[in-house]
Amino acid sequence: MKKQRLVLAGNGMAGIRCIEEVLKLNHQMFEIIIFGSEPHPNYNRILLSSVLQGEASLDDITLNSKDWYAKHGITLYTGETVVQIDTDRQLVITDRKRSLSYDKFIAATGSSPYILPIPGADKEGICGFRTIEDCQALMSMAKHNQKAAVIGAGLLGLEAAVGLQHLGMDVSVIHRSAGIMQKQLDQTASRLLQTELERKGLTFLLEKDTVSISGISRADGIRFKDGSSLKADLIVMAAGVKPNIELAVSSGIEVNRGIIVNDCMQTSAPNVYAVGECAEHDGTVYGLVSPLYEQGKVLARHICGDLCEGYQGSAPSAALKIAGIDVWSAGKVHEDERTTSINIYDEQAGIYKKALFEDDKLAGVILYGDTRDKPRFLDSLLKQRDISIVKKQLFEPEKSGTSFESMPFSETICQCNSVTKGAIQEAVHTKGLTTVEEVKHCTRASGSCGGCKPLVEDFLRYMTSGEYAEPAGTPSFCGCTDFTEDDLIAELQLLPYTDPAEAMSRLGWKTGNGCRKCVPAIQYYLEKLHAGFVQPESSSEDTCTLIPQMYGGMTNAEQLRNLADIIETYSIPDVSITHGQRLKLSGIKPADLPNIKKDLKMPARSNEHRHALQSVKACTCGPNRSIQQLAVQIERQLERLSMPASISVSLSCETDCTDAAIQDVGAIRTQAGWDIYISGIRGTHARSGALFCVTDNAESTAGMIKGLIQYYRETAHYLEAVHQWMDRLGIVHIREVLFEEDLRTQLLDNLQTDLSLIQNPPIEAGAHKKG
């Protein structure tokens, strides 16, 4: 099949991330051609300030070498700019008179420094701070000049100012507003930051309007509207950026401040897309890396024909990259008539924290002096968590802050590149990584904005400390493969096999038979992808375990007599009562297992790889026949379903409520109805689950519990416990899904379909699925 031609204008971070996502989804679909105006391969523009501050070299910030383009068959034209798009004939023309046809065209033209339209702005000695060439020019000019002025006290301006000071210059920062970084900080945080920077040697001239640049051919100073002036032989314009939309304008594509795009990043022209700082989505132009990467992922899925909900906008977040200063903000930072706030200010320690709420949901955060909790706060912001949860994050950081032991494997450490704790942990174990730089090259964590670098450093220290113990069942994949979890699922979707051994062989597994971590994971995902298929039971153990099914913990004399006969007949050495109100028969010889199952005359679970519903416990306190009946109903329906991880359910009355509250899902019968709890934790670190909802009767309770479990099955990662799943998605989101009657009905329909397929499987074990 002939490949489509995909042309990308712009060799920056957003465009190349989109191409990387395309290659992941379908590396054979497109012939890819990239034009970049700069003479370099793709590099991390965000870390130019680190180069200027002496913390990184230009080589350190290269993201994709020229070998990467060659490896993936990508044609790269550097130092060449697309200047016209013929949208009718689907042609692009460059400034070197090159003409190329396209099937899909992506504009990722970025933005440029905003140069103040004032007299003298074209003199020598005036520079922006946007490219490698800008950085090199500043480093060169700093060797021959003494006084620098930076116009603009936003993120980029402050980072440039500190960089020039590092190069030995006397630096003044000029700003129109009364406070620095006023878009990202409130007055208190702005004042704290200014004081700290002044302590480091910077001078600030606030509420100053620049009206002209003095000097003959070369700049030698700045004049202000109030009549004052400032001597400077190097001037950096950092008063903002403007999207590069000239290409779209000349081609008749609709623009506003940026190139207007819809949720799929489509422009007004057919087969023409825009992504990154040049794109305007729903009236907003984003200049931060995480939203641009999200856009790139959506666009890649769209042009590869992969259904997705589209780009829904992003919560803006910003971190200042200056050594020794920790400041971060996300979402809204200024109060208005709709917001309330909680502030913590420790003046002596130099720590300030502020959370803003709208309708008791988190709307914005500022952290100054201590930013360790920013992953949790960003997660809470994205999920609009309730004020009660955020209060704990603010006032009890030792309990709700960066506790790596309790942090779910699926929790994101690097927001820009969507790198989870589990991915970093697996990379450290399998590849022997010991430094942040090694982690960056292997996983990309801290490789974009660099804001998560301290968190990655802390995690590495934790993994080498005495507190760390590798947990069982890490959900990331082992040393048998280089695939991430998402990559593996994507590959399994394309394969025609249901046998794990064939899948591993096709995917180039490093070990032929896999291991105890990856084999059950592949089995689980194959069951999930091929509806109705269940892996055949197998066991390599010397002895087996069997748990006769006593629904709701109920039994009778006939069952008990039969069990006693079987225990004696087959000399079963160990019989115990589980915490789930069941009898467990242990030490069974594998050869006896088929006959025992036949003689039992009742369903039973054996020690198989699959995770499933452990049991549905029912309260034994008093005459609670209705509770036991409900437990029996739920367990009979769900017992054969495969789960991401084993799941426990308990039903109790008000006088025996403790057990139900610490299960994965629990329901307590009250005088008014039922209270349903979710995400309790048993064991030494037991915690009560969260009250999910209140239902009126047994029927609605059963429906809600089954809907919850089905949504968990459809959205949880392999081996992700219910409490980890809820921490990741947020209870508010899960409620929104389950409380919507149509969505809950759809989940219950999906559940019934899965149950029907298990009873009448369309695929035989080990058979090939033709495709």
Q: Which amino acid is at 436?
A: V
Q: Cα–Cα distance between 421 and 470 in angstroms, integer?
A: 13
Per the DSSP assignment, residues forming a β-bridge with 224 are: 210
Specify which of 14-23, 346-355, 649-658, 761-770 reaches the highest per-range mean pLDDT: 14-23
Listed in sequence order, the residues at least 6 apart from 130 whose beta carbon sits closer than 8 Å to its beta carbon are 45, 48, 111, 112, 113, 241
Residue 684 has pLDDT above 60, yes or no: no
Model pTM greater than 0.75?
Answer: no
Q: Cα–Cα distance between 99 and 150 in angstroms, integer?
A: 41
Over residues 170-181, the mean pLDDT reads 96
Select from 3.40.640.10, 3.40.190.10, 3.40.50.300, 3.50.50.60 the CATH code of 4-111+243-303. 3.50.50.60
How many other CB atoms are there within 10 angstroms of residue 99's CB atom? 11
Cα separation values, 694 from 620, 633, 735, 739, 762, Å = 22, 19, 12, 11, 38
Q: Are strands 674-678 and 91-94 parallel, antiparallel or unpaired?
A: unpaired
Q: Which one-letter DSSP state was computed for residue 681?
A: B
* Contact yes or no for 229/221 (Cβ under 8 A): yes
* Contact yes or no for 156/185 (Cβ under 8 A): no
pLDDT band of residue 650 (cuts 50, 70, 90) is: confident
Residue 379 has pLDDT above 90, yes or no: no
Architecture of the domain defined by 539-607? 2-Layer Sandwich (3.30)
Domain 609-771 top-level CATH class: alpha beta
How many other CB atoms are there within 10 angstroms of residue 25's CB atom? 16
Q: Which of 595, 525, 537 is nearest to 566 (CA)?
A: 595
Q: Which of 650, 630, 700 is nearest to 672 (CA)?
A: 700
Q: Where are the domains of the chain?
A: 4-111+243-303, 126-239, 485-529, 539-607, 609-771
Over residues 661-670, the mean pLDDT reads 84
The answer to whether the 4-111+243-303 and 539-607 domains have the same CATH topology is no
Q: Cα–Cα distance between 195 and 220 in angstroms, integer?
A: 28
Q: Which of 183, 136, 133 is nearest to 157 (CA)?
A: 183
Alpha helices in 174-288 (DSSP H): 187-199, 246-250
Coil/strand/helix, residue 726: helix
Strand spans (E) along 322-415: 327-331, 339-346, 351-358, 361-368, 412-414
Q: Max Cα separation, the chain?
A: 107
* Contact yes or no for 711/738 (Cβ under 8 A): yes
Q: Cα–Cα distance between 444 and 436 in angstroms, integer?
A: 10
Q: Cα–Cα distance between 230 and 223 in angstroms, integer?
A: 7
What percentage of residues in the chain have a pLDDT greater than 90? 36
Q: Which of 662, 654, 704, 651 is nearest to 685 (CA)?
A: 662
Quote the mean pLDDT of the chain: 83
Q: Exposed e or buried b for every residue in 420-436, given b needs 16+ CB within 10 A?
A: bbbbbbbbbebeebeeb
Architecture of the domain defined by 126-239? 3-Layer(bba) Sandwich (3.50)
Specify the higher pLDDT residue, 434 or 302: 302
Q: Cα–Cα distance between 183 and 514 in angstroms, integer?
A: 52
Per the DSSP assignment, residues forming a β-bridge with 351 are: 346
- Residue-level pLDDT at 401: 41
- Residue-level pLDDT at 300: 94
Specify the higher pLDDT residue, 558 or 275: 275
Q: Which amino acid is at 271?
A: N
Cα dihedral 22, 27, 31, 33 sign: positive
Model confidence pLDDT, tens digit, residues 575-614? 777 665 667 777 788 888 788 878 877 766 665 545 777 6
Alpha helices in 601-662 (DSSP H): 625-638, 658-661
Q: Cα–Cα distance between 735 and 354 in angstroms, integer?
A: 27
- Residue-level pLDDT at 622: 52
Q: Cα–Cα distance between 636 and 639 in angstroms, integer?
A: 6
- Residue-level pLDDT at 771: 34
Q: Could you tell me the two tokens for 219?
A: 């700049």
Model confidence pLDDT, tens digit, residues 195-232? 999 999 999 999 999 999 999 999 999 999 999 999 99
Q: Cα–Cα distance between 180 and 174 in angstroms, integer?
A: 10
Q: How wide is the angle at C-alpha 503 spanned by C-alphas 498 and 504, nearest 5°? A: 145
Over residues 155-171, the mean pLDDT reads 93
Q: Cα–Cα distance between 710 and 646 in angstroms, integer?
A: 13
Residue 161 has pLDDT above 90, yes or no: yes
Over residues 241-270, the mean pLDDT reads 96
Over residues 42-61, the mean pLDDT reads 85
- Residue-level pLDDT at 123: 93
* Contact yes or no for 266/177 (Cβ under 8 A): no
Strand spans (E) along 18-165: 30-36, 75-78, 82-86, 91-94, 99-101, 104-107, 111-113, 126-127, 147-151
How many other CB atoms are there within 10 angstroms of residue 591's CB atom? 8
Q: Could you tell me the two tokens for 353?
A: 């924290």
- Residue-level pLDDT at 267: 97
Q: Could you tell me the two tokens for 524?
A: 């689980």
What percentage of residues in the chain have a pLDDT greater than 70? 85
Specify the higher pLDDT residue, 594 or 110: 110
Lowest-confidence range among 164-168, 471-475, 650-654?
471-475
Q: Which one-letter DSSP state was computed for residue 322?
A: B
- Residue-level pLDDT at 770: 34
Q: Cα–Cα distance between 205 and 569 in angstroms, integer?
A: 92
Cα separation values, 621 from 446, 656, 682, Å = 54, 7, 21
* Contact yes or no for 690/679 (Cβ under 8 A): yes
- Residue-level pLDDT at 694: 86
Model confidence pLDDT, tens digit, residues 63-108? 898 999 999 999 999 999 999 999 999 999 999 999 999 999 999 9
Calculate the dihedral angle through the C-alpha atoms of 589, 593, 594, 597, rounding to the nearest 10 degrees: 150
**Tokens 């759809």 — which residue?**
746
Q: Which of 520, 402, 523 is nearest to 467 (CA)?
A: 402
**Which pairs from 323-327 meet CB under 8 Å and 24+ separation?**
323/53, 323/55, 324/200, 325/193, 325/196, 325/197, 326/367, 326/368, 326/369, 326/370, 326/371, 326/454, 327/181, 327/185, 327/189, 327/193, 327/367, 327/368, 327/369, 327/371
Q: Quick one: which H or E segment has residue 203? A: strand 203-206
Over residues 422-440, the mean pLDDT reads 81
The DSSP result for 147-158, as a single string, is: EEEEE--SHHHH
